[in-house]
Chain A
Amino acid sequence: MTEEAIAVEGLTKVFHVPFHRKAIVAVRDLNLRVGPGEVYGLLGPNGSGKSTTLKIILGLVSPTHGRTKIFGRDSSLVESREAVGFLPENPYFYRFLTGEETLRFFGKLCRLTGSRLNDRVRELLELVGLTNARDQRLSTYSKGMLQRIGLAQALVNEPKLVVLDEPTGGVDPAGSRAIRNIIADLRQRGITVLLSSHLLTQVQEICDRVGILARGVLVREGHLEELIAIENRTELVLENASDALMKEIEKLAANSNAKLVERRRSTTTLERLFLDATKRNDETEMSKPEEMTKSE
């Protein structure tokens, strides 16, 4: 039997407010399973318990009740994080380090040395499109660049599980697209990804399964296609369809007791339009002077 990448059983987290007889239930009796190689999206509004759940899975916060496991090992054990990478929400990292120094630091924490460390740092800088900015200090990086160096540090130990908290939050469409492409690449390589996000369209594009949290409770969960499918409706997308053909289809539908609900012209996405219009390329962005990239 294949071991689950993440197993959360009966997880409850209560935060007690000091000097007040008040307790906040951040997560309530949560059960969650993420299979190996899966891209799982944890959705929910602010304060729904997404970040707390991720932190408990990573052993940064202890659960009030229940348990979490990573590849069969209890999250409270340090060794459970041996094959894990994490990108927190809005990270800043060490602003006094350059991009390359940052990856070297995290590589050394994973006990990489010598040529293995050098090769890994070079590969990751290429992967996230920051090769030209490798010697710039992080204090000069834009928000998108910080997210990408954050993603690179999460991958430095070649993890089997990557946990991403709002990976595209605050990033422009081009940066966001680059991050989603990297996540898609991780899926192709069989790496499990658990991500939390507010950006539903993006989650829809990259996740295999999603769970929706509301006030600490998992209210919906399942495969994305099953969750969002409308049982009794079917879509057809035709190219070069003549008016005569359309009328024929409508007539056929009417004859078989089906109803044409909507007829509209196909559109591109706003994101696609934006990317085509701006034609921005990450490497071009990196080669700009510091003040230009910082003001992004």
Chain B
Amino acid sequence: MDSSHRLFSFQRILAIAANTLTELTRQKVFYVLLIFALVLIGSSVFMARFSFQQEFQIMKDISLGAMSIFSSLLAIVATARLIPQDVDDRTIYTILAKAVPRFEYLLGKLLGVLLLLAISVVLMSALFIVVLYVREQTVVSETLRQMSRAPREQMDNALNAVRAAGLNIDILAGVAVIYLKACLLAALTLFVSTFATTNIFTVVVMVFVYFIGHLQSTAREYWLEQQTTGWLTRAFLALVALIFPDLQAFNLVDEIVAGVAIPLALLANTALLGIFYIGIYTLAATFVFYGKEL
């Protein structure tokens, strides 16, 4: 037995993360992905009657939207129960009665959820990309068949139009931001669960946070446009922005559907904002958890 204690051990964090991932996967949370597949395949059948531009736009809109909702839902529901369940089962005592610092326990739990979200988002994206690619290839084949006697230049233009409306790199940027939003929600849920007494409380708080987070930017813009906005309103808006994450900043679906290229700077800023929020919530969770009497 190695008797020297290490204040930080990545091995311990990994052990907790792997265990959390096992716990969540054995509880069949991946059934969410099945619903996603049904939504995607169902919508593709429904959209066969539209033009290919409309079809690809709607497919991206529905798929990225569903991916965002499902990953957010998964982040909240999967994280909310982790700590209360460990307390109920007294497993937390056996873990923390060993030389495991509380921040390592929290980091392990969070890392486990982030891994689960990564797997879920990768699987959903893969499914979406495969469906979109298959449809794009079908449209390309149909275009080639229909325009077999058209001039070369006209055919190239038509094919370029199909490819521009189909798969492009911006979809990956959109998926990355969706993942980041889910990670942020998981970190915030972990923070709430450190002082919540039940899972239901955590989930309800997080549903409110989700809606406030999505609506706050619109509300802020509206209030700030008013001529009479006083310092009190401004202070309140600043406080809301500080406590609740601006989730609208993590929504690039509209740009992707409209075919607007996502600037690298915007992507970097969004990533930094997400990492900042995740860091702040994890620190807050650690602070509360250290004072928690188990």
Q: Which of A90, A106, A154 contacts B90 (CB 8 A)?
A: A90
CA distance A94 to B16 in the complex (A): 12
A81 touches B94 (CB 8 A): no
A78 touches B15 (CB 8 A): no
> Chain A's nearest CB lies how many Å from the CB of B150?
60
A83 touches B294 (CB 8 A): no
B254 at the interface (CB under 8 A from A): no
> Chain A's nearest CB lies how many Å from the CB of B105?
9
B229 at the interface (CB under 8 A from A): no
> Chain B's nearest CB lies how many Å from the CB of A237?
43
Given A79-B99, A83-B3, the answer on whether A91 and B12 have CB atoms closer than 8 Å is no
The interface residues of chain B lying within 8 Å CB-to-CB of A62 are 293
Given A58-B97, A81-B99, A91-B94, the answer on whether A111 and B11 have CB atoms closer than 8 Å is yes
Q: Which of A62, A89, A96 has the most CB of B within 10 A?
A: A96
B294 touches A60 (CB 8 A): yes
Instruction: Tell me which of B18-26, B174-182, B184-192, B208-216 binds A.
Output: B18-26
Given A79-B99, A82-B99, A108-B12, the answer on whether A93 and B5 have CB atoms closer than 8 Å is no
Given A78-B100, A90-B90, A109-B16, the answer on whether A96 and B26 have CB atoms closer than 8 Å is yes
Q: Which of A34-50 contact B (CB under 8 A)?
A: none
Q: Which of B11, B12, B91, B293 contacts A92 (CB 8 A)?
A: B91
Beta-carbon contacts of B232-247 to A below 8 Å, as 1s and 0s? 0000000000000000
B293 touches A109 (CB 8 A): no
B16 touches A79 (CB 8 A): no
Given A78-B5, A96-B23, A111-B9, the answer on whether A91 and B98 have CB atoms closer than 8 Å is no
The interface residues of chain B lying within 8 Å CB-to-CB of A95 are 89
The interface residues of chain A lying within 8 Å CB-to-CB of B133 are none
Which residue of chain B is the closest to A110 with respect to CB atoms?
A: B98
Number of interface residues of A (CB under 8 A): 40
Q: Which of A106-150 contact B (CB under 8 A)?
A: 106, 108-113, 150
A108 touches B15 (CB 8 A): yes
Which residue of chain B is the closest to A55 with respect to CB atoms?
A: B294
B97 touches A93 (CB 8 A): no
A61 touches B293 (CB 8 A): yes
Beta-carbon contacts of A81-105 to B below 8 Å, as 1s and 0s? 1111111111111111100010001
B5 touches A82 (CB 8 A): yes
Beta-carbon contacts of B99-117 to A below 8 Å, as 1s and 0s? 1110000000000000000
Given A60-B93, A92-B90, A113-B11, the answer on whether A106 and B294 have CB atoms closer than 8 Å is no
The interface residues of chain A lying within 8 Å CB-to-CB of B98 are 81, 84-86, 106, 109-110, 157
CA distance A55 to B19 in the complex (A): 24
Q: Which of B1-56 contact A (CB under 8 A)?
A: 1-3, 5-7, 9, 11-12, 14-16, 19, 22-23, 26-27
B200 at the interface (CB under 8 A from A): no
> Chain B's nearest CB lies how many Å from the CB of A81?
5
B94 touches A93 (CB 8 A): yes
Which residue of chain B is the closest to A56 with respect to CB atoms?
A: B293
A218 at the interface (CB under 8 A from B): no
CA distance A89 to B229 in the complex (A): 58
Which residue of chain B is the closest to A153 with respect to CB atoms?
A: B94
The interface residues of chain B lying within 8 Å CB-to-CB of A210 are none
The interface residues of chain A lying within 8 Å CB-to-CB of B7 are 78
A193 at the interface (CB under 8 A from B): no
CA distance A83 to B3 in the complex (A): 8
CA distance A74 to B160 in the complex (A): 71
A158 at the interface (CB under 8 A from B): yes
The interface residues of chain B lying within 8 Å CB-to-CB of A87 are 94
A86 touches B27 (CB 8 A): no
CA distance A95 to B89 in the complex (A): 9
A94 touches B12 (CB 8 A): no
CA distance A101 to B18 in the complex (A): 11
Which residue of chain A is the closest to B5 with respect to CB atoms?
A: A79
B3 touches A82 (CB 8 A): yes
A163 at the interface (CB under 8 A from B): yes
B96 at the interface (CB under 8 A from A): yes
The interface residues of chain A lying within 8 Å CB-to-CB of B88 are 92
A78 touches B294 (CB 8 A): no
Given A60-B97, A87-B94, the answer on whether A93 and B1 have CB atoms closer than 8 Å is no
> Chain A's nearest CB lies how many Å from the CB of B114?
19
> Chain B's nearest CB lies how many Å from the CB of A265?
45
CA distance A150 to B97 in the complex (A): 13
Given A55-B294, A82-B5, A105-B15, the answer on whether A154 and B94 have CB atoms closer than 8 Å is yes
CA distance A119 to B179 in the complex (A): 40
B90 touches A89 (CB 8 A): yes
Q: Which of A86, A106, A111 contacts B93 (CB 8 A)?
A: A86
Name 6 interchain pairs, CB-CB below 8 A, sorted by A.
A60-B96, A78-B7, A82-B5, A91-B90, A96-B22, A110-B1
| Additional 20 contacts, C-beta under 8 A, given A92-B89, A112-B1 | A55-B294, A58-B97, A60-B96, A62-B293, A78-B7, A79-B99, A81-B98, A82-B99, A84-B98, A88-B93, A91-B89, A91-B90, A93-B94, A96-B23, A108-B15, A111-B11, A150-B94, A153-B94, A157-B98, A158-B1
The 10 closest A-B pairs by CB, nearest first: A86-B97, A108-B15, A79-B5, A92-B89, A96-B26, A88-B90, A88-B93, A82-B99, A60-B294, A58-B97
